[in-house]
Chain A
Amino acid sequence: ETGVTQTPRHLVMGMTNKKSLKCEQHLGHNAMYWYKQSAKKPLELMFVYSLEERVENNSVPSRFSPECPNSSHLFLHLHTLQPEDSALYLCASRGRGGEKLFFGSGTQLSVL
């Protein structure tokens, strides 16, 4: 256990659905990240939140909408996704001044 929990572990959704991915950490970290891992491709950074403010948006389509209500929780709201959005979505956190990222187990998303 890394201390970063993601739910759900698996999600199947249609292109017209709206769903949300949840990430929770109780490590006292102040930065949280969403990464996308597609088959046979490197992890791609999507969003970075530091002290609950979005500090980076890596040219992600607007059908992905992040939310960080407090330093322990991070959401990724999904709507009108495309089949090519099917991937493993990973959340990570990092402490102030720390160097290592701590990852959750991910949400395996399938868009039909």
Chain B
Amino acid sequence: KQEVTQIPAALSVPEGENLVLNCSFTDSAIYNLQWFRQDPGKGLTSLLLIQSSQREQTSGRLNASLDKSSGRSTLYIAASQPGDSATYLCAVRPVGNQGGKLIFGQGTELSVKP
């Protein structure tokens, strides 16, 4: 059974710091991995999607890497800003699932202090 774990559960950093969020998964048979952002009481916004054949994806100050064989992904946020404060979720899409369902981690709650 696929399980996704995110460490740390919560993180507080001063503005301007570079930071790394971690995601691990137990079964390397995945189609892709996605990172989402969730603001309090809101839905999820997709940030980056990495296909299983890819090693990383970049969007602005965000860079996500994937090491499928070791079951790990990282989300790197450069020059953090207070507006980056949110919960960050990673999710994998297992191979062999017709419905395209995602298995989510519990998230990392990020607080960036001005």
Q: Which residues of A contact B (CB under 8 A)?
A: 2, 4, 6, 31, 33, 40-43, 45, 48, 50, 55-56, 58, 88, 90, 92, 94, 99-106, 108
Contacts and interface: CB of A to CB of B under 8 A. Distances in A.
B101 A42 contact: no
A55 B100 CA distance: 10
Given A55-B98, A100-B49, A105 B106 contact: no
Contacts of B64: none
B53 to A, nearest CB: 13
| Closest A-B pairs by Cβ, 8 of them | A48-B99, A103-B43, A43-B104, A103-B44, A42-B104, A105-B43, A56-B99, A55-B99
B18 interface: no
A4 B42 CA distance: 12
Contacts of A101: 34, 44, 46, 100, 102
A103 B45 contact: yes
Contacts of B71: none
Nearest to B42: A105
Contacts of A40: 106
Interface size class of B (residues with CB under 8 A): 20 to 34
A41 B103 CA distance: 12
B98 to A, nearest CB: 6
Contacts, number: 64
Instruction: Classify the interface of chain B: helix, strand, loop or mixed.
Output: strand
Interface of B: 4, 31-32, 34, 36, 41-46, 49, 51, 89, 91, 93, 98-107
A42 B106 contact: yes
B32 to A, nearest CB: 6
A102 B46 contact: yes
5 contacts: A40-B106, A50-B100, A55-B99, A58-B101, A101-B44
Nearest to A42: B104
Contact of A33 (B51, B101, B105): B101
B17 to A, nearest CB: 26
A95 B103 CA distance: 18
A21 to B, nearest CB: 13
